[in-house]
Structure 1
Amino acid sequence: MTVVQSHGWLDGLQEAVWLVDESTLLILRANAAAERLAGAPVAAMVGTSVLGLASTPQDVAFWGEPAQVVADGIHSHTSLLRADGSLVPVNRQVSRVPNGPDGGTIFMVTMLDRSIQAATERELETLLSELRATLDSAADGMLVCNLHGQVRAFNQRLAQLWGIPRELLLERDDAAVYAHMAAQVQDAAAYTDRMAAIAREPMQESTDILTLKSGVVLELRSVPQFSQGRPVGRVYSYRDITRQTEIQASLRLAARVFESSLDAIFIADSQHRVLRMNPGCERLVGPSAKSFEGCMASSLFGGGTDIAFMEQVLEGWARDGFWEGELWLPRDSGAYCAVQLSWVALRDDEGRLVQSIGFMRDLTLQHAAQKRIEELAYSDVLTGLPNRLLLSQRVDTAIQGARQSDTGFAILFLDLDRFKIINDSLGHPFGDRVLQLVAERLQACLRQTDMLCRLGGDEFVIYLHGGDAVVAESVARRILDDMLKPFMLDGMGFSIQCSIGMALYPQDGTTLDELIKQADTAMYRVKERGRGSYGFYQPQMNANLLSRMQMEHAMRQALGQDRMAVHYQPQVNMATGRITGAEALIRWTDPEFGAVSPGQFIPLAEESGYIVTLGAWVMEQAVREAAQWMHSGMPIVISVNVSALEFRQPDFVDRITRLLAVHQLPPTLLELELTETILLQDALEMEQRLRVLAGLGIGLAIDDFGTGYSSLAYLKKLPISKLKIDQSFVRGLPDDDGDRAIVSAIISMGRALHIEVVAEGVETETQQAVLLQMQCDHYQGFLCAPGLPAPEFRAMLGKPLPLKAQGRRDGLQI
């Protein structure tokens, strides 16, 4: 019996079964379950093609190759076309079975209704799709891993935050994913260690902050994933908190600014009640500042401001949302201080007032500075005296009054004599303090109705209210007498003379500028006459001032036009009667002024600073000619005068060194003549400079010794090699007992200190004899020769001196 014939067993099966002819694909038998599933009687299906059950072209094609059917149809999902045309999802299985001893083989097609399963799968797929959509719509990056760290799920936000290529995630190359993430973190090693530590604690939750190299800040939260009460994995969420972090940083900064601001800051609510005040309020108001919290903000300013004005401030604030201006703030001390208030409203998105913030800046220092600026505009910084601007206003008022009352006044122009020497010798700070002392003394000589003004430097102008020539002369005498009294500063006593020029309104000028100009001219005339006096302006004085200006201009042109020359006055050794040295003296012959005395142009050069140029030129000429004489077999020491300003030049020593090297002159053949004032300059700097020069072998002589600020201390301390007695003392020999005593004392002091002494201005044999008797070492003067041009001096070196000039010869005293 064949399988088809023995079909009773088929009806006992729950699955729907069809027996199909392998070659014709005709249905041979079907069971009751097939009848129910197909919705057609078995009798109607038997003899029909199995293709009638096919629901799709793919199913039709499935039956096209019987040999392949068994291979493809072992298990498959498909749909069954029911008799009513509906489709039923089924699990289909096709197998080849024998159909009896001689029946060949047939297909046994088994189908199981999977409608419920398909519906469940669809619901599950829908759920998974919704979960995926939910996961992808999350603002945080999500990563789900099992306990072994294998990636089970992720969302798009994760890829965005970390810049992970989606393909890398889909490839399931977990190691590559983790390596990519670690590479984005600023501290990759710390991140890797932390992730490993989290993985070792499957039951623990954690929160960490990560900073990526891009600057993005992430909050990492990790929670365990459970199934049936047991941990099966871990869910990581990554939230971008960069903006939040920035806001928090800004808030912290704002808090620090609020607490540490030098300005006083208060915060008020929408009703203008003070909510909070920073420490600056306490610094500004005092300890009671905190008591204003809870009070109306306007109460901060109540007592020190006009009520109506305060109302205007509040109205402006309510209208514009801010107000800026100055208000008065009461302090705990009872005083009021001016403050700059900036009061700003803070509103919400709907424009409603939420809070307001006020910034108060103390204007005390600003007001003081403004007051000081106003003072400086009308006063001299150094002395505090009125300046020219204030004097101008005072004189303008006086001129208006004088025109109405037919009265006058006087202007005095005062200049300190030789004040430049103090500045050059003792330094500008010392000179400034001297000017302050002078200002005090001058002020004491004036009336309250007068005005003392400092123009600048050592120049002062005095306005004498209602002063005529008699009053002006009286005040000038009083000033000169007071200035003769010694000044004391830093333990040093000294006197300062001044020269005063006077001009009268209206005869000498009708404006302040004119009067100052005329008084200045009169003052210069006083200086020309000998300083330390006073004089009235006279019209012809302008011509003298013009001449002085012309002389200064001509002096500056003289060097370039070969109108200056260096002459040499011999210095004679009194023991041997031989010329051992010479002093270099500058001479100027001008086509307009003729032979100009050094006493005229040297002071001009010192006042203008041109003395540095002249001194450098004389030094160059003297060294060059001394070198020529030495190379000709007539070595002689050349003495060159150095002014205080020239000596203070930073490159002075280097310039001397270069000159000696260029002209190959031994330093021992150069001597520098310095005034006593140079030695009173900055002690340490001057001592170092002098020792450098002496160390080179250059001689150092003190010129006009005894006429300046003499001090025995520097003679002992400094490397001085010669003292030169000023001719004013020599001129009185032998008759003037005072001069004789001074000269004798200087020579004795020099011998005691092993310093050679040179007497200047020796003109007579009698003077020479007295000096010889006193054992003076050298002399110079007209007795031997005046200053000679270089050729004449060189010729003199080759000849013996006249007996009268030799002083001592063959052991005999003249």
Structure 2
Amino acid sequence: MNHQPYELGGVSLLLVEDENDARQMLTRMLAMRYPELRLLMAVNGAEGVAFFSEHRPDIVLADMNMPIMNGIQMAREIKSLSPDTTIIAVTAYNDPSYLMDAIEIGIRHYVLKPVNGHELFAVIDKSIEEITLKRLVREQDRKIRLNERQLSEAQKITHLGSWEWDITSGRNWWSDEMYRILGVEPGAIPAALAEFMKMLHPDDREAVEDLFKHSLKERQSFSNHYCRVVWPDGAVRILLVNGELTLDADGRPAAMIGTALDVTERRLAEEERMRLASIVESSNDAILGLDLNGTITSWNRGAETVYGYSAKEATGRHVSMIIPVEHQGEIEQIRETIVNGRDVMHFETVRIRKDGRRIYVSLTASPTRGLNGSVTGISAIARDVTERREMEELINYRAYHDTLTDLPNRQLFMDFLTLELAQARRNGKKLALLFLDLNDFKQINDTLGHDAGDQLLQEVARRLRACIRESDTVSRLGGDEFTVLMPDLGQTNDVGIVIRKILSVFMDPFMLNDIATASSTSIGISMFPDDGDSAEELIKKADIAMYEAKERGNNAYQFFNAEINARTLQRQELESFLRQAVERGEFELLFQPMVQSGTRRIMGAEMLLRWRHPHKGLLLPEQFLSVAEDTGAIVPIGEWALHSACSQMNVWNRKGYPLCLSVNLTRRQFHQPNLVEKTARILSETGLKPQLLEFEITEGTIMGDIDFSLRCMQQLTDMGINLAIDNFGTGSSSLRWIKKMPISAVKIDRSFIKNMLSAPDDLAVVNAAIAMSHCLRMKVVVNGVETESQLAAIRTSGYDEIQGYLISEPLFPGQFERLVARA
């Protein structure tokens, strides 16, 4: 067992325990742990007080639950006798209110029953440590006071600089230190009162002369007189001068001895402290000092103004008196920050004035340090920012509310809707959104004036508030548009009840400028989760439904019908984004390599298009190409894609990669009247040779207008461009037409490749298509090869090139170039 590391000589402990077994056990534990400790025992609180009064032990270790007098009462009486006595409570209670009573009395340590030896010893060790340190402090304090007395006696004779003046003979003597105080080397000038007077600051000479004259005349010594001397180098120093006059046997002045102390730094520091104290005291901000326990140690006039307490009322009390209950935790947070040597900067919080009014303050706190640099307290500055905060809150309120109707505006409504949607998702509840529009608002504005229009909006807002449930929210989005948010719906019928109330209030005329005026509304309703999951979607669909209601006449309402609107809205949105996608640079090109049979040498690549949609991410062609084709957006998209791909392929060719580019043309692209001219221009601008470009065209595209197709295909091949039939085997073309077309290659559709291992007919079609194409002197590209098994099945069929995920997935330009470089 480890022994107490402190000297126990003279340390005594009073054990107060009414239970005999517990007392004996604790006695044995203490004797083993602290053999040098003087141990006293009492069996109840009253006896404990009596023992304490007689023996004054350093530590009291006491059970709290005892007969005759309990531990709390005993501790209170002991503390009244000796406030500094350490009391350790041994208790089974850990109730906060009980512990607060103990702390209020001054019990700073406690051990819970059943007693754990390690916990008990830790508390006693800590207490002994504190007692030992207190004794050391007292001893040091005693020595300091002794030294101060000795120093005080010495200062009467020599101080830091000492001097003597023999009044009878006129002789003077200065100590070496006196010379140094005057800024000269010892013996450099004669020791004489006249020399001293010369070195005085001109503004102080008369006062010092008067001082000596008065001393001699009144036969009195003088002390603590401040004066300034000017050193030879011009430096001004402040001296504290004392003079002790001695008289001869006849009572006449005989001599004077004295001291001079250079107090320049101290005096300047005092003046600076006084200046700062004046600033602090006159500041409008609350400036207060605290010790580390939170007790207020200083309180300026600004604090009196801010908090309403006088300095006398506040000093010595705990700072918690100005802190609301819900902010009490800030005390420890700030304390921890300060103890760790950090500042608290412009922390805005709430405080309580003496009159109970709550105020906002901006708090700055920093540590105060002792001479050894340790943190000894807290210096806090609090500025009352209540007026600013209230103005900010007003501005914030106005930012989220309609100034005319005082209803939540669009921004606040969107926040409410987003919050209620999240709640509805969590709780599995329904939510309704009502979108209202006033049908006669423009006419009323035009005929009765804007004042009447404002009155109408205000009255509509008032009536709508009266129609809704307590949990509902009415908002004005702007103009003559209002919304009603109905969360936490138990049944859809609740919506119907509110709608009927709303329509009923529009049956009564509105008094506008003393004129009874009729007005009506149209209401659109969307429901969560039936009609959408987001705030924007529900608003949009309620808006759509509102316009449907307008078509039905005045004071009508319409629930959103998703079946009618969904496809149209989705398509409209896609069309809108597609029109701007090229300008915004949202399209990206990928390249999928086509490799030669046998050698697997990369011969070229098919250009594939992707759309990086701003909301939906990277989209494949099947997700947007049909819309682009129908709207005609495919024409500018295709032109950009062809130009970009040709430019990229030409770059690769100049780097020494002899690759061909294969590009798909849709029906609308191929049937452009100026396709040939546009293609020629792009080849000219990009520098790509026509022989390295191949257009892939489906059979259906060609057969749509066979005469145009044949003319266009011939013009393209005359330029040197290669043509290939894409998705061969899925169209309706015949051999008769194929033989007439200037086709150089066919691409077998991937659907045949996908199923050929499980469907022998598909494999037969693939083999037949390859054989037929070769007979017509056309190259065959097998598309969609994804596995080695598929490749093995067609290996003997005589294909020319293959393309598919087995070789490579579509790659971005940088990835494709690295693949080609490695190959």
Alignment TM-score > 0.5, same fold: no
For CA contacts below 8 A with separation 6 or more, give which structure has more relative contact order.
Answer: 1
Q: Which TM-score band applies after superposition, normalised by the shorter structure? A: 0.3 to 0.5
* CA radius of gyration, larger in: 1
Provide TM-score, normalisation by structure 2. Answer: 0.32
- Give me the TM-score of the superposition, normalised by structure 1: 0.32
